[in-house]
């Protein structure tokens, strides 16, 4: 039986009128699904075909010809490149895809899922890397992780017959220059959820306030209002409101990626309500389809984030916080502390709120007030977020990771 027990998709919930996010563990009853029918050793390494290469200014993209349902993809990080985002798409969107091993150029183990351990091998990751239909791997995940030039090897496996897409996006430095993050926004709300241009300006301003201390900012807002016939492909429309079921989010991302292209931007769908079979309307405020998600991939399904508009109607600060929080998940960042006070991110400078210290009422959850600022209730990636703890902050280590992600691009100061 696999030791993997937590699903790497993030659902963000409104919790006691707060922004709360947590993993889907327990809530959806998922987990403990082995990647393959047995735990036999990985198949022999399959060398990838020579890659097709396309280049933008500071990005280099390699795509690989998929072969088997379990294969080692080898690629070379060149001098001056500071990060890479690997994504693998299975032929079946419902099949599990998992990263099983990652090795550095000198053979050092960076990550391993050996089926028997509670934690991944290599010592860097705090959770296993797998998802359904697609999976993403973004390195480096912490500032302490060396990422020297040379050949990396990623062993990836799926329960599907094979892969339809394998790609690596490399980003060239310098990473410490000012950078911006574009958004492509589909306003898929109904007539009751009208988002005006001044609203969008305010939301952008809230995100900028959070990013500015780190020389990061929001770039373009490419706003589109898809036709009702397009929205109806992924959401239910009634009473002038749109309802998107969380199970339909990957399909919604796929519709957006096919219709709108796969630009270098956060692809965000704003609906009135995000629904789930066991959640009340308004409980779910945001959702990142990937952790990290796939970008610049026209067929990508884990390629967007979703936000509810009605959940925070009238509060552009909360919209801004939700959008950038989900965007950060999409770029691979974890909650600083999960609601159980047992799981944390892997960054050294983010505050933690362990249950054994902070769960004052012993109910098994650490809330904003129990944690306070000391426990990180004012961090933008705390699992929850109450406006009382504003202004929210991004730590230097969180910014360090974000500015290496290929969605951020260099801009003039």
| Residue numbers at the binding site for Zn ion (CB under 5 A) | 10, 12, 21
CB of 12 to Zn ion, least distance (A): 4
Smallest gap from residue 47 Cβ to Zn ion (A):
38
State how far Cα 21 lies from the chain centre.
13
| Distance in Å, CB of 166 to Zn ion, minimum | 28
How big is the chain, counted in residues? Answer: 413
* Residue with smaller CB distance to Zn ion, 12 or 102: 12
Dihedral sign for Cα 174, 180, 181, 186, please: negative
3-state secondary structure of 200: helix
| Residue 148 exposed, middle or buried by CB count within 10 Å (0-12, 13-18, 19+) | exposed
In the beta sheet, which residues pair with residue 392? none
CB of 306 to Zn ion, least distance (A): 12
- Nearer Cβ to Zn ion (24/168): 24
DSSP assignment letter at 25: B
**What is the 3-class SS of 257-322, one letter each residue?**
HHHHCCCCCEEEEEECEEECCCCCCCCEEEEECCCCCCCCCCCCCCCCEEEECHHHCCCHHHHHHH
Name the minimum Å distance from CB 338 to Zn ion.
9
**What is the rounded distance in angstroms from the CA atom of residue 376 to the CA atom of residue 395?**
10
Report how far residue 154's alpha carbon sits from residue 405's, in angstroms, rounded to the nearest whole number: 19
- Three-state DSSP at 197 gives helix
Residue nearest to Zn ion (CB): 21
C-beta of 380: minimal distance to Zn ion in Å?
Answer: 10
Provide, rounded to whole angstroms, the least separation between the CB of residue 274 and Zn ion.
13
Shortest CB 334 distance to Zn ion, Å: 9
Question: Residue 231 or residue 407: which is nearer to Zn ion going by CB?
Answer: 407
DSSP string, 28-72: T-B----SSSS-PPPPPP-PPPPPEEEE-SSEEEEEE---SSEEE
Distance CA(398)–CA(179), nearest Å, equals 14
**How many angstroms separate the Cα of 49 from the Cα of each of 46, 181, 285, 336?**
9, 32, 42, 39
Burial class of residue 31 in the structure, from the number of CB atoms within 10 Å of its CB (0-12 exposed, 13-18 middle, 19+ buried): middle
398: enclosing H helix or E strand:
helix 396-402
Q: How far is the CB of 176 from Zn ion (least distance, A)?
A: 26
């Amino acid at each position: 039986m696999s030791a993997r027990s937590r699903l790497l998709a993030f659902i963000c919930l409104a919790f006691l009128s707060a922004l709360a996010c947590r993993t889907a563990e327990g809530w959806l009853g998922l987990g403990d699904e082995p990647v393959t029918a047995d735990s036999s050793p990985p198949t022999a390494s399959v060398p990838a075909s020579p890659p097709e290469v396309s280049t933008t200014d500071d990005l280099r993209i390699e795509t690989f010809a998929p072969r088997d349902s379990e294969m080692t993809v080898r690629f070379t990080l060149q001098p001056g490149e500071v990060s890479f985002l690997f994504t693998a798409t299975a032929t079946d969107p419902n099949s599990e895809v998992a990263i099983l091993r990652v090795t550095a150029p000198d053979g050092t183990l960076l990550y391993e899922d050996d089926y028997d351990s509670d934690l991944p091998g290599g010592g860097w990751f705090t959770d296993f890397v797998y998802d359904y239909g697609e999976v993403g791997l973004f390195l480096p995940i912490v500032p302490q992780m060396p990422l020297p030039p040379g050949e990396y090897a990623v062993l990836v496996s799926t329960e599907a017959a094979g892969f339809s897409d394998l790609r690596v996006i490399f980003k060239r430095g310098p990473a410490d220059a000012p950078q911006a993050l574009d958004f492509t926004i589909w306003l898929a709300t109904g007539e009751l959820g009208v988002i005006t241009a001044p609203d969008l300006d305010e939301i952008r301003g809230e995100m900028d306030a959070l990013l500015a201390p780190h020389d990061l900012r929001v770039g373009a807002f490419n706003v589109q209002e898809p036709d009702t016939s397009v929205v109806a492909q992924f959401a239910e429309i009634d009473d002038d409101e749109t309802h998107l079921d969380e199970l339909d989010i990957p399909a919604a991302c796929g519709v957006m990626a096919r219709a709108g292209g796969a630009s270098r931007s956060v692809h965000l769908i704003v609906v009135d309500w995000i629904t789930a079979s066991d959640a009340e309307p308004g409980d779910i405020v945001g959702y990142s389809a990937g952790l990290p998600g796939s970008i610049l991939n026209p067929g990508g399904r884990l390629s967007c984030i979703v936000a509810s508009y009605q959940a925070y109607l009238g509060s552009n600060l909360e919209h801004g916080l939700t959008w950038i929080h989900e965007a950060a998940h999409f770029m691979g960042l974890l909650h600083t502390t999960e609601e159980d006070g047992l799981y944390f991110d892997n960054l050294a400078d983010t505050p933690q709120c362990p249950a054994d210290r902070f769960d004052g009422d012993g109910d098994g959850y650490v809330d904003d007030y129990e944690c306070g600022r000391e426990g990180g209730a004012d961090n933008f990636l705390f699992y929850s977020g109450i406006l009382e703890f504003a202004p929210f902050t991004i730590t230097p280590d969180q910014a360090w990771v974000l500015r290496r992600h290929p969605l951020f691009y260099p801009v003039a100061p």
